[in-house]
Amino acid sequence: MKIGELSQRELEQRLRGGGLMLRAGPFVACIRANAPHVAEEVRLLYEDYPLADDEPVADFHARLALGTGLRRFIKPKLYFHCDSDRPFLPMPPALAMPLLEWGLNWAVANRGHRWFMMHAACIERHGLAAILPGQPGAGKSTLTSALVWHRWRLLTDEATLISPADGRVTAAIRPVSLKNASIEVIRRYCPQAVITAASPDTHKGTLAHMRVPPDALRRAGETAAPRWIIFPRYEKGAPAVFEPVTRARAFMRMIPNTFNYSILGPTGFEALTRLIERCEIFDFRYGDLDEAFAAFDKLAAGATPLSISQGDAQGAGAVAIDLDAKPVTVGVDAATPLPAGKRNSGKQADPVATLFAALRFPYTMPELEPREWDTLALMARESGVLARLAYHWRTQPGFDALPARLRWMLEATITLSRKQATGIKWEVNRVARALVPLGVPVVLLKGGAYVAAGLPAARGRWVNDVDIMVPREALDRVEAALEAEGWESSDKDEYDEAYYRRWMHELPPMRHRNRETFLDVHHNILPPTGRLKPDAAKLMAAAVPLRFPEGDRAPYGASCLYTLSPADMVLHSAVHLFQDGELEGGLRDLTDLDALLRHFGGLDSSFYDRLIDRAEELGLGRPLYYVLRFTVRMLGTPIPAGATAHADAFAPFAPVRVLMDALVVRALTPVPPGRNGALTRWAGHLLYIRAHWMRMPPLLLARHLVIKAWRRIVDADPKKEDEAM
């Protein structure tokens, strides 16, 4: 069944309800939208696309959602969500379709790691593919759009997918993006093309989308052999000319045009090398489309497929992604029965119970129907725990029996997690080199510490930045040394800059000007204005030298690197979860605590005694009480009864305890797709207010919240809203 066969009412119901399952080439996207006019534009561009109702698992869930609260009435904004990610700043509702298309492009680039992916158009003739990388403004989309109405078949305009196994191109056909003058050029040259109304004032100028030609959709399942790599460039008045490019030069030019070259590691290098070996490579300058048609016709007419030797074929097979040996299962009985989410009498498994059962018993895979796996994977990704579960599930015999799309998703998640861990280790290396001349201790915090020390909490842990803590008296010297090495404050707002430096326990976030990675520099683990005031000097004095995992080489300057002591590491994670007020990744943080407690408690029988004593010494008994209470309650963490009994001394009064039980469990429990999450959002809001109440005096808090709320409403800088698109 095609999308065009749905009535307008059915299409709107799917977009606003359970989701529209769209098949676009090898990808299945579940699309939801509560914005006006999206259904009409989806029908216009995707009318001939097949529905994927027979697919149990979607590669990604994309959602367009209008802002809530005052944002519905005052300068309303539209947000794009992909699973757990919100990669773009909000846009005006009038730009709903460009935002959706940008979002789907982002999803393919960040989820399609089964393939070697390039930011390039690709067209086919006689079974041979021409790959067209191009910088913005080079005329790539204009040339591609014209050629696909002139005897060439569209494979993609945005992301060229190369199979590591056989080197062939898989079609990933979606509407072609046209910008500025290209819109009228294609309307004139290709009157049969269906093009949307232009959307002005985007960060790329005026934008429209062209519907994919019918022949390309009919042949969407046909792969093609790469034959040419062509770097196009439009120059007004220039003749259409192909100029050969050396393979060495082409290799270096292609790397910036890849999405996952570094993520795939050796696989990406081998895939790109073999692609370049098999292709003829040209620069192509043109100033007239008719001349370009003739030049491409001549190129295709004289082409013969390049032969692939047996050695090449074997080498291509060797490029297939290898995610290393499966980790050894230790410390958990893999035969432990699953208490919830198990198939029982044909009833549908409760998705929330299934997720928590998977976290409690990660080495036992749930018995689910394929559609239920899709729900579980979506909830796990939105909670930030999918990679953690993927590591465990991949060791189990039932992994190969999972739906293929789910296996691909889990393997890609593991690949991304490992790549991110490598990047974090490199950032730690750079920080050490920058700060070792100062002779001050540099304490790694949170995810960066878990990764650098090789702790179990690092397995599948998503780490977005590196956090360090240094003595407050050394803060100016540390900031100057980091600035000399390329880090700079990412917050250019005068109010926020002053707020961080006067009231917070850290500097404004720093971003490296070349790598665009983030670094947070702390001098304590809680703000000095808060009710809880742990002594930073005691934390620094108890810090231990960083112990690198076996096989990792210590970088230059590693002598300055430390981690918090085991007890302090748990306490810092506790205050981060229960005092910082950011509960969006709260379940992931709770699983961090579960992993830390299991690890340190298993290594040392006296760990919990020291943990409770340390919490009392630092005045952090209440956060520790909540950690022990909710890790046991929600994740079944094996904590000695004596420890929980001692921690009860830090408990709040009964009414507060009952309220916190309700709010924390609600806020940390993900909402299954299609269900109303209003109570979860309200629980999160109340805990956010509580955290700020704990962190600031009332007058300062009121002033801060009023300023931030007002500026959020009135700030409508289009450049800021369009950045990252």
Query: DSSP secondary structure string, 384-396?
Result: T-HHHHHHHHTTS
594 and 691 both lie in a single domain: yes
Q: Could you report the per-residue pLDDT of 122-136, keeping only the tens digit for each?
A: 999 999 999 999 777
600 and 505 both lie in a single domain: no
**Residue 725's pLDDT band (cuts 50, 70, 90):** very low
Q: Could you report the per-residue pLDDT of 446-488, keeping only the tens digit for each?
A: 999 999 999 999 998 888 889 999 999 999 999 999 999 999 9
Does residue 608 carry a pLDDT above 90? yes
The vertex-106 CA angle with 101 and 109, nearest 5°, equals 130
Does residue 153 carry a pLDDT above 90? yes
Among 188-202, 635-649, 702-716, the range with the most confident prediction by mean pLDDT is 635-649
Does residue 379 carry a pLDDT above 80? yes
Query: Which of these three, 546, 564, 582, is where a domain ends?
Result: 564
**Residue 658's pLDDT band (cuts 50, 70, 90):** very high
Joined tokens for residue 681: 């959002």
Q: Could you report the per-residue pLDDT of 20-38, keeping only the tens digit for each?
A: 999 988 999 999 998 878 8
**Residue 313's pLDDT band (cuts 50, 70, 90):** very low
250 and 141 both lie in a single domain: yes
For the chain, the domain total comes to 5
Buried b (16+ CB within 10 A) or exposed e, 513-544: eeeebbbbbbbbbbbebbebebebeebbebbe
465 in a domain, yes or no?
yes
Q: How far apart are CA 536 and CA 396, in angstroms?
A: 44
For the chain, what is the mean pLDDT?
85
56 in a domain, yes or no?
yes
Q: Could you report the per-residue pLDDT of 507-533, keeping only the tens digit for each?
A: 989 999 988 899 999 999 998 888 899
Would you state the pLDDT for residue 320? 29
Query: Which of these three, 111, 140, 169, is where a domain ends?
Result: 111
**Residue 640's pLDDT band (cuts 50, 70, 90):** very high
711 in a domain, yes or no?
no
**Residue 244's pLDDT band (cuts 50, 70, 90):** very high
156 and 296 both lie in a single domain: yes
Would you state the pLDDT for residue 103? 92
**Residue 714's pLDDT band (cuts 50, 70, 90):** low
722 in a domain, yes or no?
no
Does residue 206 carry a pLDDT above 60? yes
Q: Hey, what amino acid is at 692? A: H
120 and 88 both lie in a single domain: no
283 and 374 both lie in a single domain: no
Q: Which residue has the higher pLDDT, 683 or 539?
A: 539
Does residue 648 carry a pLDDT above 50? yes
Q: How far apart are CA 347 and CA 342, in angstroms?
A: 10
Average pLDDT for 90-115: 90
Does residue 537 carry a pLDDT above 90? yes
Q: Could you report the per-residue pLDDT of 267-309, keeping only the tens digit for each?
A: 999 999 999 999 999 999 999 999 999 999 999 887 654 433 3
Average pLDDT for 637-663: 92
Q: Tell the residue number behind the tokens 């420890």, with chain if given.
A: 643
256 and 347 both lie in a single domain: no
Q: Which residue has the higher pLDDT, 68 or 181?
A: 181
CA 475 to chain centre: 32
Which helix (H) or strand (E) element contains residue 194? Answer: none
Query: Which of these three, 345, 368, 402, is where a domain ends?
Result: 402
Does residue 356 carry a pLDDT above 80? yes
The helix/strand/coil state of 589 is helix
720 in a domain, yes or no?
no
Does residue 720 carry a pLDDT above 70? no
- For the domain that residue 448 is a member of, what is the CATH number? 3.30.460
Would you state the pLDDT for residue 324? 31
Render 532-573 in DSSP notation, one character per residue.
Answer: ----HHHHHHH-EE--PPTTPPPPTTGGGEEE--HHHHHHHH
The helix/strand/coil state of 528 is coil
23 and 157 both lie in a single domain: no
The helix/strand/coil state of 4 is helix
Q: Which residue has the higher pLDDT, 638 or 691?
A: 638
Would you state the pLDDT for residue 280? 93
156 in a domain, yes or no?
yes
pTM of the model: 0.79
169 in a domain, yes or no?
yes
CA within 13 Å, CB half, 378: 24
206 and 352 both lie in a single domain: no
Among 102-116, 553-567, 664-678, the range with the most confident prediction by mean pLDDT is 102-116
369 and 451 both lie in a single domain: no
Would you state the pLDDT for residue 491? 65
CB burial of residue 58 (10 Å; 0-12, 13-18, 19+): buried
163 and 231 both lie in a single domain: yes
Q: Could you report the per-residue pLDDT of 403-451, keeping only the tens digit for each?
A: 888 998 999 899 889 889 999 999 999 999 999 999 999 999 999 999 9
Does residue 582 carry a pLDDT above 80? no
721 in a domain, yes or no?
no
Average pLDDT for 194-201: 86
Average pLDDT for 633-647: 92
Would you state the pLDDT for residue 20? 92
Contact 113, 416 (CB under 8 A): yes
Give the domain range for residue 177. 116-318
Would you state the pLDDT for residue 310? 28
132 and 177 both lie in a single domain: yes
Q: Which residue has the higher pLDDT, 494 or 544?
A: 544
CB burial of residue 287 (10 Å; 0-12, 13-18, 19+): middle
Would you state the pLDDT for residue 105? 92
Would you state the pLDDT for residue 368? 86
- For the domain that residue 182 is a member of, what is the CATH number? 3.90.228
